[in-house]
Structure 1
Amino acid sequence: MASAMPDRDAGPGVRLPPPLVFLAGLGLGFLLQRIAPLAFAAQGQPLPRWLGGLLALGSAALALWAFRTFHRAHTTVRPDRSASTLLTGGPFRFTRNPLYLSLSLLHAGLAFLANALWPALMLVPVLLLIRYHVIAREERHLLGLFGAEYQAYCRRVRRWF
């Protein structure tokens, strides 16, 4: 019995929009922060703000680089649609998931900027959801589309960093 070729138009089957997952985690974290405040540092300490600013700037730079790479390759950035190209250049040389890494950096950066520990703690369940309900589906899809080429890419480049 021959194995069926993946339907290029079917997409990976991602049902959770990653930006909304991060936004929900951030929102829940700030709600918990309001109910039971936890800070990284004493009020007025500049380190959390500096660190948060650096993380947010790094996030923006990485996202811009990744979006430009998608645009140049004429492939979709949407995780619910099928990829037309296996991206291995730009930030994809260093991480297989630069946009999820960017959203993670932004999430952490906003928590540090607010000197709020709860939003940072909520990043853990967010990352678990992204890893097992988004990335896993994307990886199966890319493996089906690009086979050995994708396997070789996975051996060369780590998932996050």
Structure 2
Amino acid sequence: MTDVGGTPVLREPANRVSPQAIPFWTVSALVGDAVLVVGAALVWWLVPGVPGWAGLLVLLLALVAVAHVVLMPRIRYRVHRWEVTDTAVHTREGWIGRQTRIAPISRVQTVDSRQGAVMRLFGLASITVTTASAAGPITVDCLDADTARHVVARLTAITAATEDDAT
């Protein structure tokens, strides 16, 4: 946080997610959108009584899916940021809407890491910081797997040294 004319201004988190997030999000979107488009096309083609103009809706759905696969990963990569300091965990995420979360270290209860099969193929992992907050946990998706391990270790060390109770 910096001061501008005596008013505190929140800066964006310092770190980007891994560049491998772009191909990971692209593949994830491609698989999900392909299932949706193929399913819609099969319904249009195989189910009797579906009007012919429904094929135009399937085509429109396919065009939206292509735009989603091409644009979403790049926009998410530009937006998603994270930072861990001795005092807080700070994240920003989204691709249509934006969400910024800041959790004081004193509120951190657990730190978990996750690496699914597809994430492993791209060398990625995610961390989840559970806090004493009604807003739920803070997740940092698509970190380089080594970075995620270091962040988990650092957060564990910082929270262990913090005397405040995270309840």
- Asked if TM exceeds 0.5, the reply is no
Higher strand share: 2
Higher relative contact order (CA 8 A, sep 6+): 1
Larger radius of gyration: 2
